[in-house]
Amino acid sequence: MTPRTLTKYTVLTMRTGLLIDMDGVIYRGSQLIPGAAEFIQTLRRERIPFIFLTNNSQRTRRDVCMKLQRMGIDVEERHIFTCAMATARFLAKLKPSGTAYVIGEGGLLQALHLNGYSIVDHEPDFVVVGEGRTITLDSLELAVNMILGGAKLIATNLDPNCPTKGGTRPGAGATVAYLETVTGRKAFSVGKPSPIMMRAARKELHLATSQTVMIGDTMETDILGAVQLGFRSVLTLTGSTRREDLGKYAFGPDVIVESIAELCDIGRFIDRDLPKANQDDDTVTNMADWVAANA
Ligand SMILES: O=C(CO)COP(=O)(O)O
Ligand SMILES: [Mg+2]
């Protein structure tokens, strides 16, 4: 099948799938955002494909499911895609069976193990930095010397901070900036807005570019990543972005909503409010998977 025939086929079997950010869209820290549970229920009832896409590397897929379940949202592990998973898969391709020194928590450690990595405390191939509350000056000093000794610096994400119920918490980006300043080396980051994570998430749902919509609260990660990949995007104002901030950016989302509650009538939203996709943006790389998933 040539790409031209595929484009026609895409139009004929048109469906939309959603990449949904978590913090700032579904919850804010430990507080559920009103309407989020109903929104996910609707997606399940109407069989609209979706996956949660988070730059939080702290939790494993199972931990994230449990956090959601306790908030009244019932999803399976296949619905979760974290920057820890994207980072571990990326490293496993770059250097199979490698070693890492990790500044981060369970989600990152488990993802690395599942992808054939060993965690070490000297001479690692990579220093991998994610979100965490266990950082100490000793762990940073160890990391500095490993990086100066030749280990490559990898970031799960570069979010400088994250809004919480009570204010702001520091993000992995702040830790990475510390290590970059001390060592003079530049980190490579895998999480949103990196195409590595954005594209991997689209492929998890077997969607074409024109079928993919990103819903997020952060311009620098969710919306920028979507714009760069040619996905349509929806910005929610329940997280890190205020309407008056938008003038600062030279790019923007396709649609802005106050909160995810406005998307509960998702069928109507897709048909009426979401701009039509540009079919020319399509990049379907694995035909067999795509045809099977869209049959
Ligand atoms: O935790 C984060 C950055 O610290 C961001 O989380 P989300 O990507 O789910 O918004
Ligand atoms: Mg967010």
Mean pLDDT computed over 42-47: 94
Q: Give mean pLDDT, residues 89-116.
A: 98
Q: Closest ligand 1 atom to the C-alpha of 171?
A: 4
User: Which residues surround ligand 1 with Cβ inside 6 Å?
Assistant: 21-24, 54-56, 131, 159, 162, 171
88 CA from centroid of ligand 2 (Å): 21
Domains of the chain: 14-55+193-294 (3.40.50.1000), 85-189 (3.40.50.1000)
Report the DSSP beta bridge partners of residue 129: 103, 155
Residue among 156, 30, 153 at smallest CA distance from 81: 156
Question: What's the confidence (pLDDT) of residue 74?
Answer: 95
280 is catalytic: no
Atom of ligand 1 nearest to the CA of 191: 8
HSE value, Cβ hemisphere, 13 Å, CA-based, for 202: 26
Is there a catalytic annotation at residue 281? no
Q: Which atom of ligand 1 is nearest to the CA of 131?
A: 4
> What spatial distance separates the first Cα and last Cα of the chain, rounded to whole Å?
15
For residue 181, report the distance from its CA to the centre of ligand 2, in Å: 26
Average pLDDT of 155-166? 90
Per residue in 203-231, pLDDT (tens digit) is 999 999 999 999 999 999 999 999 999 99
Distance 4 CA to ligand 1 centre (A): 38
Q: Give percent above pLDDT 70 in the chain.
A: 90
- Label residue 288 by pLDDT band (50, 70, 90): low
Is the ipTM higher than 0.90? The answer is yes
Q: What are φ and ψ of residue 132, in 5° steps?
A: 180, 155
Please name the residue whose Cα sits nearest to atom 5 of ligand 1.
55
